[in-house]
Structure 1
Amino acid sequence: MTLVLTQTAAEVLRVIAYHAMVDGHGVVTTALARMAAARTDPVWALPVLGRGAAETRYRFLRLPRPPDEPPVEPSFRYAAELREARWRAAAGAGEEPLVMPDPVWGKEFCAALDRAESVAVGRWLGMPELLFGLLDGPDTAPAWQRLHAGGFAADTTPYAPYFAGAEPLGAIETREAATTPWVSRVLGRFREPATGGPIFVMLEQEARRQAVRLGHDVVQSSTVLLAILGLDEQMRLTDCHFTGRYWRTNDGAARLAARGLTLEAARRAAEPIVLERAAPPSGDPARPMFGAGTPADPVWTREAIALLTEAGRVARRNGAKAYGTTHIVAALAETPAPAAQRLLAVVG
């Protein structure tokens, strides 16, 4: 079973990938990972690994990239998480040159994730577990004892990348506290007309993320369905819910579940489905959301664009100003979406 990454563990994976690409490491090793963890995480990693680990950035061997070896073995349980970490690192590098744009996640690092999983309690793969996996030498036991003797809190804050910016826009709120209404109204105006509202803004990014996790270079109509399920999973993990104006038009995940789709089953089935091609670039100002944001981003297919465009028409016919996942699922009956239909046929 693949465990759920915590926010800190996901950030450490991103920084590991960043250092591999920027510093020219052809293979991600546990030594590189320990350095990145110590530089990134002051709560768990730095006290256990020590400041010396954080200062080894330029002091250990840079292994060449093995020829004809994929960045990560496709059958590895955490392949999706490692693909995403590399994508986020490349997107966040900005103008910094990537010396090694496609490093290999080495066998010893993948074995470290297996070790981390072996000591996990519950569904979370957090920093204590990740550190246990990375400590593969004679110092493992003393360091693990320091970690637990230090009284560190458990790491259970889930990685949910597209909800930090949604709350101020008024699309979601936590169970504990509602968003301030005037903030929602002011910021929400900037998101409504061109992109269909904040839900479609989040959905665009989640669709790219799901494409990356599958190892695809395009966002197909099937990927849009994964994005709907992925956003729903993030909401459950973070105990969030849609605000009043959005919940009525965002039951797409429930509708897909009623047709037999679960996120894990859909991901497995979607990986070999590649039926749609990238749409050509467009300067159309009405389509700002469908271009690749960075060279590392997957691009949208014609069919995926047509599906969201049709969802907008469905929303307008029903008098909705802000489009939602309900309209996307309804649009499946209105426009050709071969990849989405294949996914529904296989899983639904």
Structure 2
Amino acid sequence: MNHRRMILLSFLAPGILSGQASIAADYPTGPITFIAPFAAGSTTDAAARVLAQHMTKTLGQPAVIDNRVGAGGTIGLTGAFRSKPDGYTLVFTSLSAQIISSFSVPGLPWDPATSFTPIGQIAIVPMAMAVSGTLPISSLRELVAYAKSHPNELTFGTLGSSTAQSLAMATFMKRTGISMREIPYKTSAQIFTDVAAGRVDIVIDNVANILPILQGGRVRPLAVTTGERVSAMKATPTISEAMIPGFAMASWVGLAAPAGTPPGVIATVSAALKKALDSAEYKEWLQSNGALPADHTDPKGFSEFIDSELNLWRSAAALAGVINK
């Protein structure tokens, strides 16, 4: 930085800081837009609406839910990135939209680590691995043993190689030394139908999606991918306890703001978020959707978590060969 620019900044900085303090002190004075990169009516959209409603009661201003769907959630995040960093545009982010898309979708204008100010994680979305009842497999160890004796014979269905499900499976195969064939599908419903019928052997998906197909015994649960068991599947072990100590890969949802949003505004929004997360209505959403309470509900903790997730999922993407930049 040259000498003239340093002098200029020394004069401007007090004014900038004063302006930010004024914004934070008055915030909020108008409606707050929550960008939700989820389809209206989806389970994650329902969570976003419950939280936004409770937060705006605390903040004393109305909420506007702006569903911007498409491109794996990146359309919504790009909209937030291009918004004024004043606290009046917030964005519900996710593993898929912010982390996985950052290295699987070329040409994004934002950086996952620096373009957004984390406010707080709102939920952990566990995945579960299940196997067709047509196979003689009832546990994770039996799956690995079968796969080793039948290399590259077993199949698993996903919605594509740049999804959390596919990347978690790539990591699992690497850690256990097995090889299975990935079969891409257009919808989860098609995967579930084929697993139940034995046309594809294994499925890995969000717990909320897996639960209905376990009825009747045509599909057997093997493990969940989180570090702890899930209440909706209490009898199903984690991958960590069943076979790979420390294994933990799960989807998640969080709240963020455009980078440069005043710290005082972030603190105000963070406090409102924590209060909303403690609401009975939101806890009911967690229970009914097989989700787990967030571990990183404050800005600092969520920021550190995002950094660790970037490393974890980038490594998984490298294993799967899906890094585009």
Same fold (TM over 0.5): no
TM-score of the superposed pair, with normalisation by structure 1: 0.25
**Normalized per residue, which structure has more strand?**
2
TM-score of the superposed pair, with normalisation by structure 2: 0.27
Higher relative contact order (CA 8 A, sep 6+): 2
